[in-house]
Structure 1
Amino acid sequence: MNKSIKSLITVVLLAALFVWLHQSNYAFLRGWQANGDETEAVPVYNGDYRLIFEENFDESPLNPAIWNDQYLASWTPDPESARAVYEVEDGNLNLIINEDTPPWNPEFDGTVRTSSVMTGNRTGLHEFKQGLEVRNYIEPFMGFITQYGVFEIRAKMMNSLGNMCAWWLVGIQDTPEQDVEVDVFENALNFGKVITASLYAHRDPLVREQHFIYAVGAADLSNEFHLYTFEWTPEGFVFYFDDEEIGTFQAEVVYPMISILSAYEGRENWWVGPFDPAAPYPKVFQIDYMKVWKKVPEESEQVDKLKIVSQDEATFTLAAGQYAIEHGQLVGFPSYVTLRYNDGTDTQQWVKWEELTPAILEKMEKPGTFKLEGEIIGVPEAVLGNRKATIQVVVD
């Protein structure tokens, strides 16, 4: 075989190896990637952090086990008007506003149109204005929740006046106080070449309202993809744009949140500023991916195989006979459990608690203590095994 043919074969093999490794990296970035026997999970690390969530927007429709496509639907007279228009194309999620997209809530949000997807939803989530009334009861859904971590998306904004793109998080609201709102960005062409970020306490007594604006210089937010990252710790939030720190919020948020990706349009008297009726449709907010990592504690080590080593058990206290039930669940009851792993990290997982039978309700009518169990959602059975969520109910 002559030297030129050998060189060509070498190049082809190297190219094939590169492609295989590239694809393998994306496969192993799942964080829950199973070994061949599917009894272990192979963790993926990025420096001192472990990947716990990755969405590359490679499949359509979006996975209903993770994403809800009806924006704050308990507040709107017509839940279908709150349903997102989107497409998954070329590895991007395209959130779309069309000319015929209807206002999602004309009574309380005027002409505002939206295409939004959420990693959780429930009745009464995010009471954004006074005077709202629940119009639709929603079965609680928490596709992805977490408390603390490093969050990142790669995205390109809309390029027309009167439109806004937002990435924001809200508390899961097991109780009214779990109500914080973190706007990682609310970017609009009307604002110029800036990123605007906000923190709203709403009913959370531990949080105060905060804001910042960051000028992006020569970056083009509407015609280029850029990285938007933040780290959430017990002390607060640190924000990054294309890996450069741009702002901080000090806040003690002590419960999980969901993420919301939103494209908006306001055609009349909307707070972002004038609307351009000549701008062509569709208007598109593009998101390339969303990833979340958890920090490995300094006293812990990265591991080759991920295992659950413990879980936090909660306590729910009520006065005898003083409780309310909604969708078969006790109001105010924790909707999640925290699992801890052999590398020192933890995740928060949604729980479907056992049915409240007449026998259980009878126990809540008189003082005493008992336990309830629930199904932990979002962890592969190979890793979870027979583990159940448990909670101690104390009746005073």
Structure 2
Amino acid sequence: MSEVVVRELRAGYGTTEILHGVSLAVAEGATTAILGDSGSGKTTLLRAIAGFLRPTAGEISVAGRVVAGPRTWVASERRGVGYVRQEGALFPHLSVAGNVAFGLPRHGLRGRDRAHRDRVMELLELVELPADLADRYPAQLSGGQQQRVALARALAPRPSVVLLDEPFSSLDTALRHATREATARALRAAGATVVLVTHDQGEALSFADEVAVLRGGHVRQVAAPRIIYGEPIDPQVAAFMGDAVMVRGEGVGPEVRSGLGTLSVVGFVPRGPVDVLLRPEQIRLTAPEQGAVTGVVTTVRFFGHDAVVDLDVAGDAQGWAGGPLSVRARVHGNETPVLGARVGLRVVGPVRVFKH
């Protein structure tokens, strides 16, 4: 049993409270991403779980044992938790083997002990680094290699829980992807329960089993990636999880009328004025047709595999009197329209609505 449970946690620095009664549960062997903007409290939460920061109220349990509470405090080194920092924080004077072996017992700092050396080689293989890097020093490694060494060091004592504090943010795009994939495979192989702190929505959605959105020291929503992206709890979470198209509408029975036509809806539809959320990839561009929703292309941003297209729409579909509106569509790269083109618009899949 290696779950992490946080109950009504309050923590901060000095007289400034950062976390205001945060509760969160990470299942054994699962990965949860804590997603939030700067100042939301995500690193404060990770430091409290690690034992680097003592909370002012609430409780933290790791692997079924209370490690922080009103009458309990377990030091960080006794929590069975591995911690990987943003920059890796390797010891520059130690070799790769020395860094990895640092957390092992009996002072095997340089990997001289045979058992330590075997464990180091096992860990290097686990994080997909060649064995011949064992005797190199951090300055001789790429950024991605350094992060994998940091992960190997965190996994060395076989922790039940691994905490990742924005471990890929300092890497370039290609290196970030490769390092993230290797890290995910290593953590799955180790069977660890993982908490990842990140401000990158794509990273959270692709890396984790669940995503927890933290805003202003409060958990706004915890859900699987598909749910939190497709069914956000409010417009603020919706916008934070990626490009969001918001238009006005009116709830009528099980559907909603809007300037983009009559749309099917996820969940309950309140009667009367509503705000309609849909994602840019739900808007499909077609040839303009008589009586269909049409728009004029105002901006095109081409990314190769896809493109983002901004459009001005009259907003008078099926007699809707909401007035003109601007929307954004995401299309395949080989379907990119030209600037100024008049195109048809079709919404695919159900939308999310919020009472206006």
Category of TM-score, reference length = shorter chain:
under 0.3
State TM-score, norm by structure 1: 0.22
State TM-score, norm by structure 2: 0.24
State which structure, 1 or 2, has the greater radius of gyration over its C-alpha atoms. 2
The answer to which structure, 1 or 2, has the higher relative contact order (CA under 8 A, 6+ apart) is 1
More helix by share: 2
